[in-house]
Amino acid sequence: MNATPSKPRSLSARRIALLATTICSLTAASIFVAPSFLPNAQVAHAQNLSQQAQQVARPVGFADIVEKVKPAVISVRVKLEATAQPMANTDELPFPKGSPMEQFFRRFGMPDGQQGQQSQQSQPRRQFGSAQGSGFLISSDGYAVTNNHVVEKATNVEVTFDDGKTYTAKVIGTDPRTDLALIKIDGSNFPYVHLADAPSRVGDWVLAVGNPFGLGGTVTAGIVSARGRDIGAGPYDDFIQIDAPVNKGNSGGPTFNTEGAVIGVNTAIYSPSGGSVGIAFAIPSETVKTVVAQLKDKGTVTRGWIGVQIQPVTPEIADSLGLKNKAGALVAEPQKDSPAMKAGIESGDVIVSVDGQPIKDARELSRRIGGMAPNTTVKLGVIRKGAEKTISLTLGELPNTREARAETPGDARPDHDQDSRRGGERRERRGDASRDRDMQTTDGPRLGLSLAPGGSEPGVVIAEVDPSGPAADFGFRPGDVILDVSGKAVATPGDVRKALGEARAEGKHSVLMRVKSEQGTRFVAIPLGHA
């Protein structure tokens, strides 16, 4: 929808009046004390001050850079067709039955002209809206980059240059996972800019150019505040954080370095109010290059996929597994018939490298694998039960309707298969401890949960969770299933108790439980002080 510019905070009328008075007074003084009435020495002295001021070192300005790159920045306006909304049904009027207002609307129709007598069934009505953002050209033949969220529902796209010229553009391709889109306008000899070859550094000066609140051609300056930010937007989060003011309408616009190269695409801000508070996020140029190349070539983006649910290696998990550090990605579960399963990847494996390059954490593994083409053969460095090994596998590709990446439990989208349905049935069946004679507790007072045998299914069912106990803090919920403890499969509450006791005897500070829920499978490190 069209954004309405926020009114800037203005000075009070009193302050404005005082300022005007001051200006007028100064003006009058300068007219009264005319140069012709001053001694020549005083006039020379004033002139010398001006000359001296010109020689004083001044802050570095950005005008020359802006003059060069601004013509390549465009305002993007799109026409949207919103989801069809049913027309109002007079049977659902917000008036009491039999009231004069109800009778009026039933007789004469709704305000939009709909007749009450003909509204027994709601009729869909097409609704249209508009949105605006920013973008920039990357070639002389009219290819331009913007955000996916700017054009994803567009029925018509128009771009406007800084000189006021407007063109119709078409969407070449979009990538929702990175929020990037490639559009094109017909023509040639357009001004354009290039994507930076080297990554920006924290502390570098940057310029943001775009169309905030519909005010096209706006330039703001700041620095790179941080790199590698994860803002929860998706599995490939790797944002540059900048403090240059960025507002609504800047989406899709470029962030330049002082050499005039694009280091990022502005895509999001952190703001309690909706306006800039000095925290904005840009997609780095390294990501933009990879995505745009695929969009230009085939209109879509394909990514490598190994088919695992992964999670970060926390200090507690590292301690439970006997790892020297917390680097790598812990495999919660390989997916059925995935490249990982076919290659022999197992639950509990920690992936620490790809083709010999270290993996810092689970998100880096997702980005590294997602940046490779399907059918690529890779070598994964894996730690399994304290031993290092190398596993080769060929990356697969998933349909666009599913995530073609290494999945984390929070992002997993499990199918509603038979196992999921049985999990829901377990939750209903085991939800009341008083009705289940087989139910036992496992150190219940410490963890704050009750367990029950899984019956014909593997694992031990969590029947009840004390909302104020440690188990709730660890994310346990009724209906979750504990599959194994310290790498050992469990089938009864007694098995869980035994595994905990063995971990204590071995002098471990924490124990690792593999837990299955409706969101997927994950590992939970339980400090033995709680268990």
Checking DSSP bridges between strand 329-334 and strand 350-354, what pairing results, if any?
antiparallel
For residues 351 and 343, give the distance between their C-alpha atoms in angstroms, rounded to a whole number. Answer: 13
Element (H, E) at 199: none
For residues 282 and 91, give the distance between their C-alpha atoms in angstroms, rounded to a whole number. Answer: 49
151 touches 163 (CB < 8 A): no
Lookup: tokens for 319: 């301690």
For residues 179 and 231, give the distance between their C-alpha atoms in angstroms, rounded to a whole number. Answer: 13
| CB-based burial label for 8 (10 Å; 0-12, 13-18, 19+) | exposed
For residues 501 and 133, give the distance between their C-alpha atoms in angstroms, rounded to a whole number. Answer: 60
For residues 402 and 493, give the distance between their C-alpha atoms in angstroms, rounded to a whole number. Answer: 36
Checking DSSP bridges between strand 460-465 and strand 449-453, what pairing results, if any?
antiparallel
List 266's β-bridge partners, or say none: 282
For residues 352 and 370, give the distance between their C-alpha atoms in angstroms, rounded to a whole number. Answer: 16
Q: What share of the chain is helix, strand, coil (3-state, %, to 5)?
A: 25, 30, 40
For residues 362 and 368, give the distance between their C-alpha atoms in angstroms, rounded to a whole number. Answer: 10
For residues 221 and 209, give the distance between their C-alpha atoms in angstroms, rounded to a whole number. Answer: 9
Residue with tokens 């997602």: 370
**Those residues with Cβ within 8 angstroms of residue 23's Cβ, 6 or more apart along the chain or in another chain:** none
Lookup: tokens for 454: 């899984």
Give the SS3 label for residue 204: coil
Active site residues: 149, 179, 251
User: Residue 289 corresponds to which amino acid?
Assistant: K
List, as one string, the DSSP characters of 227-274: EEE--SS-TT--EEEE-S---TT-TT-EEE-TTS-EEEEEEEE--SSS
List 381's β-bridge partners, or say none: 353, 390
Q: Alpha-carbon Rg of the chain, whole angstroms?
A: 32
281 touches 241 (CB < 8 A): yes
Give 117's Cβ-side CA count (13 Å radius): 2
Give the SS3 label for residue 462: strand
